[in-house]
Structure 1
Amino acid sequence: MSTNCPSVSSASGVKKKTRIPLKMKLKIIALRERGKRVIDIARELGIPQSTISTICKDKTRIRDAAKSSASVKSTVIRNKRAGPIGDIERLLVTWMEDQIQKHKPFSLSTIQAMARSFFNTLKENSDDPTYPQVFTASPGWFQRFKRRNNFNNVKISGEAASVNTEGAAAFKEELNRIIVDEKYLPEQIFNVDETCLFWKRMPEHTYIHQESKTMPGFKTYKDRVTLLLGGNVAGFKLKPLLIYHSENPRALKNVSTQTLPVHYRHNRKAMMTSALFADWYLNCFIPEAREYCWENKIPFRILLILDNAPGHPQHIGNMHPFIKVVYLPPSITALIQPMDQGVIATFKAYFLGQTFAQAVRATKSGRTLRDFWNGFNILNATRNIAAAWKDVTLQCMKCVWKKVMKTHVDTFKGFNKDSAVDNIVRNKILVLGNQLELDIDEEDIHELVDIEAEELSNEDLIELEEARRKEAEAMEEEVIAEALKTFTTKKLAEAFAAISSGIRMLEEMDINYERVTKTDRQIQDALACYREIYNEMNKE
């Protein structure tokens, strides 16, 4: 909801209306009532001062409009129907993005079959008599679907890609030529890769996992994050990028994401997109790589090796003059991508070990494993991710480059992916699992460590969309409720009186007059901003 505000002149001299969203108006009112000057709000939000003044004068009507909007919002959303085709396409987008994240090829026949499958599932669950009886998923529909959902660059073929050993060897030679000709140092050569982490998942046969499968709503064992992990040939590790499906999860409500040990980002499906990757590249990778080069007294010249995932924009290499981006050829990622040669698997083993260790400490303090697992949230997971990433050894970070590099090979010794993961499983995770009285063996742990984003059923996709829609609605209602907070002269006067009463109670108990006087002075100084608001409201 928005209303007309005073007109402003465009560069051409033509008057046009500035339309301010309702949420922005509520924010402006809140900032003004907290004592912020009109000129400062205008500068911060890029809105004319006259517009801000008008909004503040009209705050009563704006708040009434917000209350009205909040009272009908949930009903409007629940009754809104995008139509059967829209429902099918939303589920198909989720499925395709899931397949892209797993680097799986597409064929037109497979996509059409999935679309028809979604249609049949939705039709079975619908009680709408007007629901269409037939959906053919024709090639014409698919072309329109691709344009609508920006899948034009996704390669659609009839055959799955095969592993290309000859292509891997050719790429290795070309990469070696670039490194030698342009004299890149080990510290200047980086690789990153995404992985999916089911951060709240126990081994399949445990009672905790079985209970999580029966929980109502969005099942916790399916909750995942996407992580971007990487480092350089010298063994330096970049700060992880974490992508979650919620911008403001309840566990992070009172935590600034800037203080987290990861770069926290979000989108609805917790998946890497071109926009998120470009944001990471410009705002995380470049500053971190520049600082690393400065600390190590080497030139800021970077060679970044990426795979051809759709979430990696092809133009990324043109965004900085001192960073060269090289893309792995199609179908050889599994053969030579460094982070896939043991870093990710080792990290996941350490993460599970961190979580089990926390569970053991909780049970020793008197809590049950069930209580610990129910309280384990995304903030706990984020801290465990950082700890597990720290545990990945320098030797591991160096040795995983041996399949793609011909230079600096003297450092690629002493690490084996399988034996490294086996060692963590046997000597840490299984020991902790026995302390937790979990009936698990090595195979159970390996299945959990090796798991990537599994195929989602139609019901899973529908449930995922519904759960995230409800969370989005709840968060929006919280935002509106927060914005509707307001000052009144009566309540402010009552607050001042209550504080004065508390100071008098301290004075009656304390024989140290100087201490009471000093405390009173500090409290009155702290209340000055609220007294300004009170005085200004009285003037109005």
Structure 2
Amino acid sequence: MLRIRRKMLPISDKVKLLDMLREGKSYAAVARHYGINESSVRYIKKEEKNLRTTAAVNFNTNAKRVVTVPSAADKVPSAFNASKGWFEKFKKRFGLKNVCLHGEMASADTAEAEAFVNNKFKAIIEEGGYKPEQVFNMDETALFWKRMPSRTFIMQEEAKAPGFKVHKDRLTLAMCGNAAGFMIKPGLIYRSKNPRALKNKNKDDLPVYWMYNAKAWMTKALNLDWFKNCFIPEVKCYLRGKGLDFKVLLLLDNAGGHGNDLAYDGVQIEFLPPNTTSLIQPMDQGVIHAFKALYTRNTLQHLVDAMDSDQDFSLKDYWRGYTIASCLQNIQRAIQEMKTETLKACWKKLWPEVHHSAVETAVNLAKQIGGDGFNDMSPDDINALIDGDAQPLTDAELAEMSKPQSDDETEEGEEDTRDEEEGLTLVANCKKKKSFLFRGFHLSQVIFGT
């Protein structure tokens, strides 16, 4: 009888394996990486606390220690100075990494987050009988809509020019979506009521709900405005289209701009516990990051197109013509390009039951398809696929996606939809879509040259 020799991993590799799991890798992916069974990975994960303690002890045992007897003069504290090269080699030698926690993550309350997910939130869902389509979350984010990466070569060259001014124009976006992967029209807070690029234009036709104040940030008054005039109409339209009752749960964090005077028949408002946003709030689990990655890609696409079409290209002139109307077009496209799978995956920590149900359905569908790679598909395989969609785009991916698509690259049967663009409107808008005209031209012609 042939005996199969089990592969034994040293403690150092087991710690690296655990780090991969912390980074979001699936059990199946980690098992393939180390050539071991998935059950072995799960056992190592179960023993994580003991393994990390043992690894720490071994580190201290193997470390070189030099003991000196201090003299009276040496007892005076003195600062330790090391060159950057020495410090980098020291970190590499002992596998040390610097993790800077700031903002909400630094003060995150893990225990409170777990209690909310396992107790209060679960009770709210069961008592209210809410479906994923009826549960929404809103969070705000700042968007420096006219900023370029500071390390870009062309940016550095332009910065040397006389009169160059770094663009710090900021706006606030209120991003809101549900557990079924649907995003409503974003709320946008700008510092001006009627910017020149949108003068005399109907704000109802924009792909955002337009709001303004001098500092371009959320206030209780604007939050109430968004709730009554954007959230309620958009959600009513969406649920009516799904054939569902207007019974809604809206989750908010405890930010100062979120007032406690929000009320509407059929809407239940619940505030997340303090210091848990970075742990369980869906919009903060990847939705906003994915949106900003897509917005940046679209901005760079415009820049590439402008450079290709103008031999005398000037970044200063380009940014002078890049208005808030251009920004809105990029916001619209970024929202439309966000994947439903990415949006759903961001609810995994707050509502794991919905995520697991969707995964099980996907596995059953794979088995119905049958054949190699489908019959033996596991939940870990589906999770790996979803996690891949939820990961932020890399610089290489952004560069690849920014390349203009040639006619030869259009797949057979795929229609060119450029002529069907309706300007600054969203398909999800219940109102009749209208063409957004800009100085006598269709906005897509002005910005994209289509």
Which TM bucket (shorter chain)? 0.5 to 0.7
In the alignment, which of 411, 420, 444 is matched to residue 358 of structure 2? 411
Does 2:250 correspond to 1:280? no
In the alignment, which of 232, 237, 241 is matched to residue 178 of structure 2? 232
Alpha-carbon distance between aligned partners in 1 of 2:308 and 2:280, rounded to the nearest angstrom? 44
- Provide the secondary structure at the position in 1 that maps to 2:138: strand
CA shift at 1:261, angstroms? 1.1
Query: Does the CA-based 8 Å contact 1:188-1:301 persist in structure 2?
Result: yes
In the alignment, which of 376, 383, 393 is matched to residue 422 of structure 1? 393
What is the 5 A alignment of 1:30-69? Answer: none
Alpha-carbon distance between aligned partners in 2 of 1:369 and 1:403, rounded to the nearest angstrom? 46
Alpha-carbon distance between aligned partners in 1 of 2:222 and 2:162, rounded to the nearest angstrom? 31
In the alignment, which of 240, 244, 249 is matched to residue 303 of structure 1? 249
CA shift at 1:369, angstroms? 4.8
- In structure 1, what residue type is equivalent to 2:138? V
Label 1:162 to 1:359 Cα distance change in 2 as closer, same or farther (>3 A): closer
- Provide the secondary structure at the position in 1 that maps to 2:386: coil
Does 2:297 correspond to 1:357? no
Query: Does the CA-based 8 Å contact 1:239-1:262 persist in structure 2?
Result: yes
TM-score, normalised by the number of residues in structure 1: 0.48
Query: Does the CA-based 8 Å contact 2:286-2:390 persist in structure 1?
Result: no
Alpha-carbon distance between aligned partners in 2 of 1:215 and 1:206, rounded to the nearest angstrom? 18
- In structure 1, what residue type is equivalent to 2:358? T
Does 2:266 correspond to 1:266? no
Does 2:196 correspond to 1:250? yes
What is the 5 A alignment of 1:322-401? Answer: 322-366=266-310, 368-370=313-315, 371-401=317-347
- Provide the secondary structure at the position in 1 that maps to 2:142: strand
CA shift at 1:223, angstroms? 0.6
The worse-fitting range, judged by mean Cα deviation, of 270-279 and 200-209 is 200-209
Long gaps (5+) in structure 1: 1-102, 106-159, 435-540
- In structure 2, what residue type is equivalent to 1:298? L
Alpha-carbon distance between aligned partners in 2 of 1:239 and 1:226, rounded to the nearest angstrom? 14
Label 1:369 to 1:421 Cα distance change in 2 as closer, same or farther (>3 A): farther
Percentage of identical aligned residues? 42
- Provide the secondary structure at the position in 1 that maps to 2:216: coil
- Provide the secondary structure at the position in 2 that maps to 1:191: strand
Number of the residue aligned with 1:170: 115
Alpha-carbon distance between aligned partners in 1 of 2:220 and 2:162, rounded to the nearest angstrom? 34
Alpha-carbon distance between aligned partners in 1 of 2:116 and 2:306, rounded to the nearest angstrom? 50
- In structure 1, what residue type is equivalent to 2:290? T
Query: Does the CA-based 8 Å contact 1:195-1:227 persist in structure 2?
Result: yes
- Provide the secondary structure at the position in 1 that maps to 2:108: coil
- Provide the secondary structure at the position in 2 that maps to 1:314: coil
Alpha-carbon distance between aligned partners in 1 of 2:222 and 2:400, rounded to the nearest angstrom? 37
- Provide the secondary structure at the position in 2 that maps to 1:415: helix
- Provide the secondary structure at the position in 2 that maps to 1:222: coil
- In structure 1, what residue type is equivalent to 2:393? D
Query: Does the CA-based 8 Å contact 1:243-1:265 persist in structure 2?
Result: yes
- Provide the secondary structure at the position in 1 that maps to 2:194: coil
CA shift at 1:374, angstroms? 2.6
Alpha-carbon distance between aligned partners in 1 of 2:318 and 2:286, rounded to the nearest angstrom? 30
Once the two structures are superposed, residues 502-536 of structure 1 have per-residue CA deviations (whole angstroms, 9 ceiling, x without a partner) of xxxxxxxxxxxxxxxxxxxxxxxxxxxxxxxxxxx
CA shift at 1:418, angstroms? 8.8
Alpha-carbon distance between aligned partners in 2 of 1:394 and 1:252, rounded to the nearest angstrom? 31
- Provide the secondary structure at the position in 2 that maps to 1:312: coil
Alpha-carbon distance between aligned partners in 2 of 1:312 and 1:271, rounded to the nearest angstrom? 12
What is the 5 A alignment of 1:73-112? Answer: none
CA shift at 1:321, angstroms? 2.2
Alpha-carbon distance between aligned partners in 1 of 2:328 and 2:301, rounded to the nearest angstrom? 15
Query: In the comparison of the two structures, how many residue pairs are matched?
Result: 275
Query: Does the CA-based 8 Å contact 1:198-1:223 persist in structure 2?
Result: yes
Alpha-carbon distance between aligned partners in 2 of 1:198 and 1:401, rounded to the nearest angstrom? 26
- In structure 2, what residue type is equivalent to 1:383? Q
**Cα RMSD (Å) of the superposition?**
2.7
Alpha-carbon distance between aligned partners in 1 of 2:189 and 2:159, rounded to the nearest angstrom? 22
In the alignment, which of 143, 147, 162 is matched to residue 201 of structure 1? 147
Number of the residue aligned with 2:432: none
Label 1:363 to 1:214 Cα distance change in 2 as closer, same or farther (>3 A): closer
Label 1:315 to 1:358 Cα distance change in 2 as closer, same or farther (>3 A): same
CA shift at 1:431, angstroms? 6.6
- In structure 2, what residue type is equivalent to 1:187? E
Once the two structures are superposed, residues 299-320 of structure 1 have per-residue CA deviations (whole angstroms, 9 ceiling, x without a partner) of 100000100001100221xx21
Alpha-carbon distance between aligned partners in 1 of 2:352 and 2:116, rounded to the nearest angstrom? 11
What is the 5 A alignment of 1:77-226? Answer: 162-173=107-118, 174-206=120-152, 209-210=155-156, 211=158, 219=165, 221-226=167-172
- In structure 1, what residue type is equivalent to 2:117? K
CA shift at 1:426, angstroms? 1.8
Alpha-carbon distance between aligned partners in 1 of 2:278 and 2:388, rounded to the nearest angstrom? 14
Alpha-carbon distance between aligned partners in 1 of 2:282 and 2:300, rounded to the nearest angstrom? 28
Once the two structures are superposed, residues 381-423 of structure 1 have per-residue CA deviations (whole angstroms, 9 ceiling, x without a partner) of 0110111111110001111001111431223644337963135
Alpha-carbon distance between aligned partners in 2 of 1:162 and 1:263, rounded to the nearest angstrom? 32
Query: Does the CA-based 8 Å contact 2:341-2:389 persist in structure 1?
Result: no
Query: Does the CA-based 8 Å contact 2:189-2:210 persist in structure 1?
Result: yes
- In structure 1, what residue type is equivalent to 2:264? H
Number of the residue aligned with 2:43: none
Label 1:429 to 1:277 Cα distance change in 2 as closer, same or farther (>3 A): farther
Query: Does the CA-based 8 Å contact 1:399-1:411 persist in structure 2?
Result: no
- In structure 1, what residue type is equivalent to 2:339? T
Once the two structures are superposed, residues 304-354 of structure 1 have per-residue CA deviations (whole angstroms, 9 ceiling, x without a partner) of 0100001100221xx212100111100111101101111111110100111
Alpha-carbon distance between aligned partners in 1 of 2:277 and 2:220, rounded to the nearest angstrom? 19
Query: Does the CA-based 8 Å contact 1:352-1:429 persist in structure 2?
Result: no
Alpha-carbon distance between aligned partners in 2 of 1:282 and 1:421, rounded to the nearest angstrom? 33
Label 1:323 to 1:259 Cα distance change in 2 as closer, same or farther (>3 A): same
TM-score, normalised by the number of residues in structure 2: 0.57
Label 1:363 to 1:164 Cα distance change in 2 as closer, same or farther (>3 A): same
- In structure 1, what residue type is equivalent to 2:280? I
Alpha-carbon distance between aligned partners in 1 of 2:168 and 2:286, rounded to the nearest angstrom? 24
Query: Does the CA-based 8 Å contact 1:200-1:220 persist in structure 2?
Result: no
Alpha-carbon distance between aligned partners in 2 of 1:256 and 1:287, rounded to the nearest angstrom? 18
- In structure 2, what residue type is equivalent to 1:315? D
CA shift at 1:427, angstroms? 1.9
- Provide the secondary structure at the position in 1 that maps to 2:249: strand
Query: Does the CA-based 8 Å contact 1:187-1:234 persist in structure 2?
Result: yes
